[in-house]
Amino acid sequence: MQGQRCATTRGGRAEISSPPTIRQVAEAAGVSPATVSRVLHGTRPVHPDLRARTLTAAQQLNYRANRVAQALRTRSTGTVGMVVPNVANPFFPVVIQAVENELRRHGVHLLLCDSGDDVREEAELVRSLLDHRIDGILFSPCDRLSSQSAVRLAAGRVPLVQIDRQAVSDVAYVGVDQEAAMSEVIEHLIAEGCRRFAYVSSTSRASTAAERLRAYRRAVKVVHARSAERVYQGTFSLDWGRAAAQRIVDEGDLPDAIVCANDSVALGVLDVLRSKGLRVPEEVLLTGFDDTELASIAWPPLTSVRQPLEMIGRKGAELVLGSGAVPGKSVNLFKAELKIRESSRRRA
User: What pLDDT does residue 329 have?
Assistant: 56
- Asked if 6-73 and 178-306+338-344 have one fold, the answer is no
Summarised one tens digit per residue, pLDDT across range 100-110 is 999 998 888 99
Q: Is 172 exposed, middle or buried (0-12, 13-18, 19+ CB in 10 A)?
A: buried
pLDDT band at 10 (very low <50, low <70, confident <90, very high): very low
Residue 258 has pLDDT above 90, yes or no: yes
Sign, Cα dihedral of 328, 334, 335, 338:
negative
CATH 1.10.3720.10 fits 6-73, yes or no: no
pLDDT at 331: 82
Residue 74 has pLDDT above 80, yes or no: no
* Res 107: pLDDT: 85
Domain spans of the chain?
Answer: 6-73, 77-176+309-336, 178-306+338-344
Residue 146 has a pLDDT of 94
pLDDT at 3: 35
Of 155-164, 231-240, 288-297, 321-330, minimum mean pLDDT range: 321-330
- 160 alpha-carbon distance from chain centroid: 15
Q: How confident is the model at residue 25 (pLDDT cuts 50, 70, 90)?
A: confident
174 contacts 319 by C-beta, under 8 angstroms: yes
Q: What angle do CA 175, 178, 182 make, to 5 degrees?
A: 155
Confidence of residue 90 (pLDDT cuts 50, 70, 90): confident
Residue 239 has pLDDT above 70, yes or no: yes
> How far apart (Å, rounded) are the C-alpha atoms in residues 158 and 81?
10
Classified by CATH at the fold level, domain 77-176+309-336 comes out as: Rossmann fold (3.40.50)
CATH class of 178-306+338-344: alpha beta
Evaluate whether 290 touches 339 at the Cβ level (below 8 Å).
Answer: no
pLDDT over 90 (residue 128): yes
pLDDT exceeds 60 at position 66: no
Task: Identify whether the C-beta of residue 292 lies closer than 8 Å to the C-beta of residue 306.
Answer: no
Residue 294: which pLDDT band, with cuts at 50, 70 and 90? confident
CA distance 27 to 249: 72
Q: Would the CA dihedral through 286, 290, 291, 292 be positive or negative?
A: negative
Q: What pLDDT was estimated at residue 43?
A: 56
Quote the pLDDT of residue 64. 63
Q: How confident is the model at residue 54 (pLDDT cuts 50, 70, 90)?
A: confident
Give the Cα separation of 163 and 169 in Å (integer). 12
pTM of the predicted model as reported, rounded to 2 decimal places: 0.74
pLDDT digits (tens, 9 = 90+) for 158-216: 999 999 999 998 899 999 999 999 999 999 999 999 999 999 998 878 899 999 999 99
**pLDDT value, residue 65:** 59
User: Within 10 Å of residue 226's Cβ, how many Cβ atoms?
Assistant: 11
Look at residue 129 in the predicted model and tell me its pLDDT.
93
**What mean pLDDT is reported for the chain?**
86
The Cα 196–Cα 257 span in angstroms is: 7
Structure confidence at residue 76 (pLDDT): 65
pLDDT category at 77 given cuts 50, 70, 90 is: confident
SS (HEC) of the chain: CECECEEEEECCEEEEECCCCHHHHHHHHCCCHHHHHHHHHCCCCCCHHHHHHHHHHHHHCCCCCCHHHHHHHHCCCCEEEEEECCCCCCHHHHHHHHHHHHHHHCCCEEEEEECCCCHHHHHHHHHHHHHCCCCEEEECCCCCCCCHHHHHHHHCCCCEEEECCCCCCCCCEEEECHHHHHHHHHHHHHHCCCCCEEEEEECCCCHHHHHHHHHHHHHHCCCCHHHHHCEEEECCCHHHHHHHHHHHHHCCCCCCEEEECCHHHHHHHHHHHHHCCCCCCCCCEEECCECCHHHHHCCCCCEEEECCHHHHHHHHHHHHHCCCCCCCCCEEEECCEEECCHHHCCCC
The Cα-based distances of 231 to 44, 132, 136, 334 in angstroms read 53, 43, 38, 26
Q: What are 198's strand-pairing partners?
A: 258
Which of the four pLDDT bands, split at 50, 70 and 90, describes residue 72?
A: very low
Instruction: Give the pLDDT score at 184.
Output: 97
User: Looking at the predicted structure, is the pLDDT value of residue 68 above 80?
Assistant: no
pLDDT band per the 50, 70, 90 thresholds, residue 78: confident
Adjacent-strand bridge partners of 303: 287
CA distance 10 to 85: 53
Overall average pLDDT of the 68-83 stretch: 67
* pLDDT, tens digit (0-9, with 9 covering 90-100), for 12-22: 443 445 667 88
| pLDDT class of 41 with cuts at 50, 70, 90 | low
Candidate from 22-36, 37-51, 293-307 with smallest mean pLDDT: 37-51
